């Protein structure tokens, strides 16, 4: 189980982003983290996988624990290699100037062994579209294809826990649906997934548990089916307007109620 305990993170020593966040990602489940832009979702994932130093960020309090082992001081390659946590950045982090096949090979670098070529074939069967694009540079793929490649690359690292950062960003609704069915399929095969999303509906429909983060604090948590019914979640993330807010002009997008304390 991946646990985050009372985490506080600052960037450049002063910009405080997470103010004491605690959450749990249970093994074999899909856990979703919802939040608006700038709420600290991406920072959360960067912290878990040890990428904070690259962005000049620092944990000033709290802990990231994987089965009671602290991951705080480890660097990202150790976390991927030893603890099998793979972070998939937002906006489809494929290597644009490498071909599809080279991308998959590069992603498998941390665990290079004889299994790599068969695993590449396996990824190609999960995502048949990649098979026909084997020698195309990844920069020329469409958004959907790039997202498939990204997930394929993440699978090449043989993760136990997959951290997905807004996989649905900028994709057509049909592709989003396909993507989420793939995510659900991977989860069925035993992969633990921590999903960060703005597309609340799609995310909550596949997830088991969910958290809502606002300005660096968790304001709501619970099983996904409860969250999907929650009035505030419906209003802010699922776009259901309240009776007295029918006019678009009056609907403040970032209206927030104080829900903590």
Site for another protein in 71-100 (CB under 8 A): 75-77, 79-81, 86-89, 93-98
Site residues (CB under 8 A) for another protein, limited to 111-150: 111-112, 137, 139-140
Please identify, using beta-carbon distances, which residue of 194 and 236 lies nearer to another protein: 194
Tell me which residues in 155-174 interact with another protein (CB under 8 A): 156-157
Residues 6 or more apart in contact with residue 169 via CB below 8 angstroms:
90, 91, 92, 198
248 scored as a contact of another protein (CB under 8 A): no
Q: Choose, by CB under 8 A, the member of 1, 36, 65, 106 that binds another protein.
A: 106
Q: What is the dihedral of CA 145, 147, 152, 154, to 10 degrees?
A: 160
User: Min. distance of Cβ 31 from another protein in angstroms?
Assistant: 19
- The closest alpha carbon to 28, from 64, 66, 68, 1, belongs to 1
H helices present in 92-211, as ranges: 100-107, 116-126, 128-131, 143-156, 173-188, 200-206
Closer to another protein by CB, 132 or 140: give it.
Answer: 140
Binding mask 20-49 for another protein (x = CB under 8 A): -----------------------------x
Secondary structure percentages of the chain, helix, strand, coil, to 5: 40, 25, 35
Cα 39 to chain centroid distance, Å, stands at 14
Q: How many residues bind another protein (CB under 8 A)?
A: 38
Contacts of 15 (CB under 8 A, 6+ apart): none
Chain centroid, CA 200 distance in Å? 13
Nearer to another protein, 33 or 45 (CB): 45
Interface with another protein (CB under 8 A): 49, 51, 53-56, 75-77, 79-81, 86-89, 93-98, 102-103, 105-107, 109-112, 137, 139-140, 153-154, 156-157
């Amino acid at each position: 189980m991946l646990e985050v305990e009372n985490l506080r993170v600052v960037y450049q020593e002063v910009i405080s982003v997470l103010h004491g966040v605690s959450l749990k990602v249970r093994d074999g489940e899909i856990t979703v983290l919802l939040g608006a832009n700038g709420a600290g979702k991406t920072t959360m994932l960067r912290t878990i996988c040890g990428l904070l130093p690259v962005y000049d960020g620092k944990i000033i309090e709290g802990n990231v624990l994987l089965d009671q082992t602290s991951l705080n001081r480890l660097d990202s390659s150790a976390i991927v290699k030893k603890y099998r946590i793979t972070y998939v950045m937002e906006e489809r982090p494929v290597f644009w100037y490498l071909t599809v096949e080279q991308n998959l090979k590069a992603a498998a670098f941390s665990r290079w062994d004889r299994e790599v070529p068969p695993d590449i074939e396996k990824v190609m069967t999960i995502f048949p579209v990649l098979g026909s694009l084997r020698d195309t540079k990844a920069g020329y793929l469409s958004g959907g294809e790039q997202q498939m490649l990204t997930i394929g690359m993440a699978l090449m690292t043989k993760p136990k826990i997959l951290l997905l950062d807004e996989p649905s960003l900028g994709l057509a609704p049909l592709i989003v649906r396909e993507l989420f069915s793939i995510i659900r399929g991977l989860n069925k095969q035993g992969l633990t997934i921590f999903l960060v999303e703005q597309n609340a509906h799609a995310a909550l429909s596949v997830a088991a548990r969910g958290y809502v983060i606002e300005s660096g604090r968790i304001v709501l948590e619970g099983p996904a089916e409860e969250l999907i019914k929650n009035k505030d979640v419906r209003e802010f993330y699922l776009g259901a307007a309240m009776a007295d807010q029918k006019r678009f002009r009056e609907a403040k997008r970032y209206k927030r109620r104080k829900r903590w304390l």
